[in-house]
């Protein structure tokens, strides 16, 4: 832009006002936390959805958090003015203003943001003109910060309303799914988790029993085949390994897969050591996956389960070449 040129500025006021609420909220929380508990603020982050104040304390109790939240909201209800002033760099009053110090190369006036009767702080940011514009502050709790620091998470103003709206929508959805009231959601989810764990345990036991029966059925054949191929949508690595253990792989080449044809799955190639070492990488390549193996077993993940037929053809050809009748 050339000096003196006329420009049109379009301001996203909703975003700007949100930032003003969070920033002024941070000033207020910082000041009250230091007054009440001596916790100094060492840094803060204005996040997209929530903001975080880093406090110079290794911990903060739930009682302290609740007391701090009550106190900052009392100040909001008192409608305390927020005033911006500019002081000369050599003004003695600057010594009484909270700051982390001026840069060595600073020139010109110093901007000070005053929350009347609460805080006076050097700041170049945009702020509300009265604490009532903050509407409300909600402290969401603390998280472990850097060494000997505590991160205090908060929402101010419109973000509190948006959070309540989102929580209410989630609550309504859970009420519909769980068929009970909000006060019973936690217990309902706990019951579902217990039920799922029991079903998973029972399913695992059934898969293990099935693996043993499949292997025994194969071994009961009068003339066992030199190639055994099996695919099941349900199953896991343990299911495949049980089958391989029960059948034994000294003479038979086994190709086992589990998973959905349209998704990724698992595979196991087991058999004579030399055969598996030769065929394993090629099988993984055909299935669009990767794997590793040792001592006659090669297993891994497959991205293209639909190509199992190509692998079976490869193994059938290999077995036919090794067959004495061939």
CATH of the domain at 92: 3.30.980.10
Q: What are phi and psi of 28, to 5 degrees?
A: -65, -45
| pLDDT score of 187 | 95
Number of domains in the chain: 2
Whether 53 and 121 map to the same domain: the answer is: yes
In the three-class reduction of DSSP (H, G, I as helix; E, B as strand; rest coil), residue 91 is classed as coil
The answer as to whether 204 is a domain residue is: no
CATH of the domain at 239: 3.10.310.40
Q: In terms of C-beta density within 10 A (0-12 exposed, 13-18 middle, 19 or more buried), how is residue 147 classed? A: exposed
Whether 122 and 253 map to the same domain: the answer is: no
Whether 142 and 248 map to the same domain: the answer is: no
Sheet holding 297-302, edge to edge: 227-232, 253-259, 265-270, 297-302, 290-294
Contact between 68 and 36 (Cβ < 8 Å): yes
Q: In terms of C-beta density within 10 A (0-12 exposed, 13-18 middle, 19 or more buried), how is residue 323 classed? A: exposed
Whether 266 and 136 map to the same domain: the answer is: no
Give the torsion through C-alpha atoms of 313, 319, 325, 326, to 10 deg: 60
| pLDDT score of 25 | 98
Whether 58 and 145 map to the same domain: the answer is: yes
Whether 25 and 139 map to the same domain: the answer is: yes
Predicted TM-score (pTM) of the model is 0.71
Whether 132 and 251 map to the same domain: the answer is: no
The answer as to whether 123 is a domain residue is: yes
The answer as to whether 215 is a domain residue is: no
Whether 158 and 229 map to the same domain: the answer is: no
| pLDDT score of 250 | 78
The answer as to whether 91 is a domain residue is: yes
Domain final residue pick, 144, 162, 180:
162
pLDDT tens series, the chain, 326 aa: 899 999 999 999 999 999 999 999 999 999 999 999 999 999 999 999 999 999 999 999 999 999 999 999 999 999 999 999 999 888 888 888 887 777 778 888 999 999 999 999 999 899 999 999 999 999 999 999 999 999 999 999 999 999 999 999 999 999 999 999 999 999 999 999 999 999 999 988 998 899 999 989 988 888 778 899 999 888 888 999 999 998 887 788 999 999 988 888 999 999 999 899 989 999 999 999 888 888 899 999 999 888 889 999 999 999 888 765 54
Alpha carbons 54 and 41: distance in angstroms, whole number: 6
Residue numbers of the domain that contains 81: 13-99+110-162
Whether 49 and 148 map to the same domain: the answer is: yes
The answer as to whether 104 is a domain residue is: no
| pLDDT score of 325 | 52
Alpha carbons 142 and 62: distance in angstroms, whole number: 9
Whether 17 and 146 map to the same domain: the answer is: yes
């Amino acid at each position: 832009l050339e000096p003196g040129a006329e420009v049109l500025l379009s301001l996203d006021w909703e975003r700007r006002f949100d930032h003003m609420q969070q920033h002024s909220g941070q000033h207020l929380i910082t000041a009250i936390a230091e007054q009440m508990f001596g916790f100094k603020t060492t840094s803060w982050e204005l996040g997209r959805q929530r903001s975080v104040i880093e406090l110079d304390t290794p911990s903060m109790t739930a009682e302290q958090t609740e007391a701090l939240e009550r106190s900052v909201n009392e100040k909001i209800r008192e409608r305390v003015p927020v005033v911006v002033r500019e002081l000369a760099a050599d003004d003695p009053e600057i010594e009484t203003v909270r700051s982390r110090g001026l840069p060595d190369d600073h020139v010109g006036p110093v901007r000070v943001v005053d929350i009347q009767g609460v805080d006076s702080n050097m700041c170049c940011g945009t702020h509300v003109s009265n604490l009532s514009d903050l509407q409300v502050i909600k402290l969401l709790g603390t998280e472990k910060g850097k060494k000997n620091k505590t991160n205090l998470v908060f929402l101010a103003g419109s973000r509190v309303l948006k959070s309540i709206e989102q929580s209410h929508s989630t609550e309504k959805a859970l009420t519909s799914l769980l068929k009970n009231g909000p006060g019973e959601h936690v217990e309902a989810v706990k019951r579902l988790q217990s039920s799922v764990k029991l079903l998973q345990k029972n399913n695992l036991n059934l898969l293990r029993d099935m693996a043993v029966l499949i292997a025994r059925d194969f071994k009961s054949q009068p003339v066992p085949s030199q190639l055994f191929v099996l695919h099941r949508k349900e199953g896991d690595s343990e299911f495949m390994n049980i089958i391989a253990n029960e059948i034994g792989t000294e003479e038979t080449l086994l190709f086992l897969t589990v998973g959905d044809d349209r998704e990724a799955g698992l595979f196991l190639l087991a058999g004579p050591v030399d055969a598996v070492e030769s065929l394993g990488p090629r099988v993984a390549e055909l299935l669009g996956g990767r794997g590793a193996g040792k001592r006659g077993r090669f297993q891994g993940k497959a991205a293209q389960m639909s190509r199992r037929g190509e692998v079976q053809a490869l193994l059938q050809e290999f077995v036919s070449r090794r067959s004495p009748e061939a």
